[in-house]
Chain A
Amino acid sequence: MILSNISTACLYPILVVFLTFFYSDNAHAEQAPRININVYHFDGVENDELRKYFSQYKGILKRRISHISSNLSNTSRGEEFQYLRNLKIIESAQEAGSIKHREEVWKGTNTLQLLSGIVFDQGDSITVMTQVYLGLLPEYLKKSLIEIELNVSPEEYRKTRDIYSALTLYTILVDAMDKKPAYIASQYLSETKNYISDLDQLAPLTIELNDALKKAEQILKNRSSSLP
């Protein structure tokens, strides 16, 4: 909140400190799996009522991440999946900054996504528009910055099959494709497919994700068949 009124120039030293923290925390960021979801400053959180709703929004996010983490790190899947028990949301009051800055944070840390956005009070409902920065992961998606709209309501809270969760699973899949054996990535492929199947199949992002999964499948198949 305080930082929202500070100019970008003034912000720079603070961001460097913030980045340094992430860099020092992740010396082997290139090889380490991405398990952090950074939630940055959201605009529009201007009174106690909206702060309450924003807190509920973060509650929804945490619930979804917790569900994904619990499901994927199921012990029966094996030891190799246990790293996802550490999948977590890291909150920060900092501004997300420019795309270039987000890219730097993404490259230098084991961040899976960077979230920022704005909270709208629409009278009868509260909507949160979230910008999900996926870094360089979406080599199969058209954009690295995706906007998702979410109503802060009990109905939204109940959902476990939603586009944000599907997108998160997809980013876990793409991250694993470079760092994990094909059979691990393929389990994320399967879970993402399950989630997407329960969404509106005509929504543009769903179509894009379905296409992306087919490309991921082909890459994994090629990798598997090229083995001696």
Chain B
Amino acid sequence: MILRIISNLLSMSFVIALLTVSSFVHAERDEIRLFIPAFKGPGNLGVNVATILNLQIWRTLRMEPDKNPQGEDFGLGMIVWGESPLLEDSHIAAEKVATLDNINSQFSFWGETFRYGNGVIGQTYLSIPVFSDHQRDGIALDDYRNKYNEIWTHSIKVKNKKIQLKVDIPNRRYEFSPIYLSKSIVDKFSLPSKLIMYKDPDRSSPIVGEVGNKYIGIEPRGHYQKVYSDGKRGWVYLPQLAKERNEVVDFIGGLIRIYRADWHGAKDLMKRVIETPSTATTLKVDALLYKGRCLEETGASGEKAFELAFKLNSYNHNTVRYWMMSQLTVLFQLNKAKIYDQEFDNKLTKAKMLLKNSRFLFREDDPWLNDVDFILKNLTKN
């Protein structure tokens, strides 16, 4: 685990907790980053809430599956931690900061806090910038990745025409449902400097020190988190953080896993988002699309998830795109194997009907729509 500090950028200092000790050695590997500035709020409240969520999300990052017989490696995931809030409360400002060269984060998670009764409310937002929409010195920005796992791509040759179908993520701006945090939790987990480090993952073991303002997360184990801070290593007890889990943490954790091609892990977190009763329909639809995509990537069918998303909102063109990609997966497989049976005919008819009924949701000149049109017209045994 490596700690990196970027100092005094926009009057902020940043602490970057990396998930691996070898991040700089493997600089050619893609890095997926989440930027979390302190939240706005009275006193230390914003810092407190952002710290809690920071650690909650951090615990969802993983370099490899829990059981890893195939030796999978999800690359680098990290959280860039800002000690000050954004200068302006807006998605535009959050996106701009995320694309700064020394932040270079695919996600910006920001928010505000305010007191309510005996607790604290955290209003949170997620901004996912399109780097190429931002420029520096007239040149479009880049997040220096080699692979964009979040883009669902199908490549096929139909009637001698090479087609690459691409579907982007469904949304790039989210306003989450407010999070309720009890006063005791916020007080207890104020700043990282107030967290006690124990020698072992056991609160009855000797205290080795307190976690400073700069810290590196090393390893989660149950309700404990191993950290390195001020030259010491120790275990921090975080039971309430796990208890306070909500759909925000699961959704962002799942999204980061998708960007890192951790399909099984992402599916698990998206499933939790879908099953959380307080999840808003917008988020539930997107979580279903992501879950379906994860299933498809692992060789299973995501059709049920897409169908459910479509039932929740049949006017969402992203749902149509994702569902169509799923239909095409099967059609391409059958076409490749030259199996033009009843299943092929049924799938083709279903795909054509889906497109016919949903055409009004698309621009007439939408390249994806026109490519799908061409494929469906020409993907026949004849």
Report if B313 contacts A (CB, 8 A). Answer: yes
- Does B121 lie within 8 Å of A224, measured CB to CB? no
As a 0/1 sequence over residues 94 to 116 of chain B, the CB contacts with chain A under 8 angstroms (1 = contact) are 00000000000000000000101
CA distance A190 to B170 in the complex (A): 12
List the A side residues contacting B66 at CB < 8 Å.
Answer: none
What chain B residues lie within 8 Å of A154 (beta carbons)? 114, 116-117, 121
Q: How far is the CB of A14 from chain B (nearest CB, A)?
A: 36
Question: Does B168 lie within 8 Å of A160, measured CB to CB?
Answer: no
A220-B360 in contact given A67-B175, A70-B90 (Cβ < 8 Å): yes
Tell yes or no: B64 within 8 A of A by CB.
no
Binding stretch for chain A, among B145-153, B225-233, B254-262, B278-286: B278-286
User: Using Cβ atoms and an 8 Å threshold, which residues of chain B touch A71?
Assistant: 173, 175
Taking a contact as CB atoms under 8 Å apart, the answer to whether A190 and B123 are in contact is no
CB contact between B316 and one of A190, A198, A224, A227 (< 8 Å): that residue? A190
Contacts of B317 in A (CB 8 A): 183, 186-187, 190
**Shortest beta-carbon distance, B274 to chain A, in Å?**
14
Complex-state Cα separation, A74 to B171, whole angstroms:
9
Find chain A residues with CB under 8 A from B130 CB: 75-76
- A197 in the interface, Cβ–Cβ < 8 Å? yes
A71-B175, A220-B360, A223-B360 are known contacts. Are A190 and B281 too (CB-CB below 8 A)? no
The interface of chain A, by Cβ under 8 A from chain B, is 67, 70-71, 74-76, 154-155, 158, 160-161, 181-183, 186-187, 189-191, 193-195, 197-198, 213, 217, 220-221, 223-225, 227
Contact of B313 among A74, A160, A197, A224 (CB under 8 A): A197
Q: How far is the CB of A131 from chain B (nearest CB, A)?
A: 27
Q: Given the known inter-chain contacts A160-B175, A194-B282, please indicate yes or no for A183 contacting B362, CB distance below 8 A.
A: yes
CA distance A66 to B280 in the complex (A): 18
Residue from the set B116, B175, B360, B364 with the largest chain A CB neighbour count within 10 Å: B360
Residues of A within 8 A of B280 (CB): 160-161, 194, 198
27 contacts between A and B (CB under 8 A): A70-B90, A70-B175, A71-B173, A74-B91, A74-B171, A74-B172, A75-B172, A76-B171, A154-B121, A161-B281, A183-B317, A183-B362, A183-B364, A183-B366, A186-B317, A190-B316, A194-B280, A194-B282, A194-B313, A197-B312, A197-B313, A198-B281, A213-B315, A217-B315, A217-B360, A220-B360, A224-B360
